[in-house]
Amino acid sequence: MRILYGKPVAENIKKEIQEMLFELNKRNKTPKIALIRIGENMDDITYEHSLKRNLKMFSIPYDSYVYAQDEDAEVLKRQIEKLNKDDEIDGIMIFRPIHPQIEQFEINETIHWKKDIDCATSYNQGKLFEKKSNLLYPCTPRAVMETLRFYGVDLVSKKCTVVGASQVVGKALAIMLIKEKATVTVCNSKTLDLKAETRDADIVICATGQAKLITKEHLRDNQVVIDVGINFDNGKISGDVDFENIDYDNIRITPVPKGVGVITTLTLIKQLVEKTLKLS
């Protein structure tokens, strides 16, 4: 088994970010991001801490806004509109999914597409279907693509099974894989024979939030397995794959923790810097 750690991928992305910041510096430009958290969801708070720590590491300034989970949608929209008009702000990130009490579609839609750093608007999501490259991608699927690229996994003509079909991860990832000429199967909770779908694939990507759903019987030798899941299992973090019991000789697999999770935050920062460079 070969473990595909996130750290070398992250180091490579850090280098790319530094190089782009250097270019921006020559143009007297420093990108700035606005972070909007609604409610006290622990996943959001953890992600926010990690993001702030990394932004500080690159000396990238940010403004942070925190609202109650029952905040009036009009107040949120007014704040986003203000940020849209603020020339100092290059990216707006709202931690998702927004609490169900608030209509998340209209909040996300308020973000100007050029500042939509996590591809939350239907405009940017729609652009995923176009042939040419996007300015902005959803960060978790892009982190998966960065991992595959870094480890030299060829996608052309390969069978990819994506387990999980959420808007934020599975569906967007499927489109991105199709654009790379992979043959893609997407599974959900009603898929009849998950084992057959995963064993048939060259590349398996799991994002379900079901700890250890994918067992040894779901996999076979010579596959690449990317585990996006972050699950809290008896005080321990585990992925969607039953990692400890996978013992095929030539399988390549990302661990949890120390896998894709390390890359997602940096991918968001990369997108902020990259698109600021493209548009400046």
Binding residues: 164-166, 230
Binding-site sequence positions for NADP(+): 164-166, 230
DSSP of 92-126: EEE-SSPPTTS-HHHHHHHS-GGGBTT--SHHHHH
**Residue 46 vs 250, nearer CB to ligand NDP:** 46
Residue 98 engages ligand NDP in binding (rule: CB under 6 A): no
Least distance in Å: CB of 124 to ligand NDP?
Answer: 17
**Residue 39 vs 209, nearer CB to ligand NDP:** 209
Residue 190 engages ligand NDP in binding (rule: CB under 6 A): yes
- Contact range with ligand NDP by CB under 6 A, out of 56-64, 121-129, 150-158, 160-168: 160-168
> E strands of 18-150, at which residues?
33-38, 62-67, 91-94
Q: Which two tokens stand for residue 140?
A: 């978790």
Residue 145 engages ligand NDP in binding (rule: CB under 6 A): no
**Number of residues that this document lists for the chain:** 280
8 close to 150: Cβ distance less than 8 angstroms: yes
Which x/- pattern, by CB under 6 A, does the window 218-257 give for ligand NDP? ----------xxxx--------------------------
Q: Binding residues for ligand NDP, per CB under 6 A?
A: 140, 163-166, 168-170, 187-191, 194, 207-210, 213, 228-231, 260-261, 264
